[in-house]
Amino acid sequence: MLDNCADFHQTHLIGGTCWRGTLSDKTVGLIGIGLAGGALAKRWLDNGWTVVGYDPDPERRTYLQEQRGSPVGSEIDVAHECQRIVLSLPTSHVASDVLDRILPVLAADAIIVDTTTGEPKTMIEMARRVTSRGRAYLDAPIAGSSEHIRKGEAVFLVGGLDEDLDRCLDLLVAASSRILHVGEAGAGAKMKLVTNLVLGLHRLVLAEGLSFAQACGIDPQKAFQALIESPAKSEAMLAKGPKMLSGDFTAQARLRQHFKDVQLIQSAAEDMSASIPLTNLHAGILRELIDRDLGDFDNSVILKAFVDQLGPPAASESG
């Protein structure tokens, strides 16, 4: 532990203190090169790392090669070549299946860093399976979109042992702005659901607010400017407001993926008898948009639950 954060490239703020990671071979294995995985790969490569990666989609392997990474032919190949292996997969069930394939060939000092947004109970079970074989496991979901990752603004929410986090700190620092160690294995997955619950509702409220402003006869551009200068300001607003205003719904994080996350929140809430009435309402709105074939657009497309597009109000007639 360090008392200050002067050497930021080798240290990172975690819960108010700084830790110095074990600086080791700058090679990382990556399984899953989708939106988030591709952004992670580029971030590491731009910081001088070697990325050995696999994705079942040949186009994603080609992308990695174009970014100067090293694509391989299978998950097994990644496990053979790398000590530290990052999973960036669509669901925890997919991650669990991948773990089944690579677990028998993991090196004795291997560590799995699972960035998948998944079911906490599944990820806790994955941690048990890995550690029972004497290997290490961190669940480290990412708070932030692929755009945040590319800009180095993402936050890792980490569950696992202190010593395992220390072994991976240089790896995580290179791809993020902050690392928050929130507890034992599974705590990162739980905190990611909490984060996604709040972020999703922020986007929903912003979309409703902008459409309400338009209905009130206020130019949405001016309404947005007023919002970001007021106590209503949020990071979600800064990230998604410009996309809502411009109608550019090119995916940084897909609405369909967030609906999957909301379903995970609903499942976890049912297990814990937690009350989430706003999230249940949100889930219904997301489902309607997916039924309208909007699921593969950016999360900012939630605007279309209220208005098809924003624009300056029509000139009112004088009385």
Work out whether the CA dihedral 22, 186, 240, 295 comes out positive or negative.
positive
Residue range 191-305 forms a domain whose CATH class is mainly alpha
Between CA 198 and CA 236 the distance in angstroms is 9
Do 191-305 and 11-185 have the same topology in CATH? no
> DSSP E strands: which ranges in the chain?
11-14, 17-20, 27-31, 50-54, 70-71, 84-87, 111-114, 136-139, 142-143, 155-159, 178-183
Query: In CATH, what is the architecture of 11-185?
Result: 3-Layer(aba) Sandwich (3.40)
Tens of pLDDT along the chain (319 residues) come to 222 233 333 334 454 333 334 335 899 999 999 999 999 999 999 999 999 999 999 999 999 999 999 999 999 999 999 999 999 999 999 999 999 999 999 999 999 999 999 999 999 999 999 999 999 999 999 998 888 899 999 999 999 999 999 999 999 999 999 999 999 999 999 999 999 999 999 999 999 999 999 999 999 999 999 999 999 999 899 999 999 999 999 998 899 999 999 999 999 999 999 999 999 999 999 999 999 999 999 999 999 999 998 876 554 444 3
User: Domain extents for the chain?
Assistant: 11-185, 191-305
Q: Please, what's the largest Cα pairwise distance for the chain? A: 81
Phi, psi at 113, each rounded to 5°: -115, 105
pLDDT digits (tens, 9 = 90+) for 249-304: 999 889 999 999 999 999 999 999 999 999 999 999 999 999 999 999 999 999 99
Give 142's strand partners: 156
DSSP string covering 201-262: HHHHHHHHHHHHHHHTT--HHHHHHHHHTSTT--HHHHHHHHHHHHT----SSBHHHHHHHH
pTM of the complete model beyond 0.85:
no
Supply the pLDDT for residue 191. Answer: 96
And the tokens for 131? 């550690």
Question: What residues have CB less than 8 Å from 91, skipping those under 6 apart?
Answer: 116, 118, 260
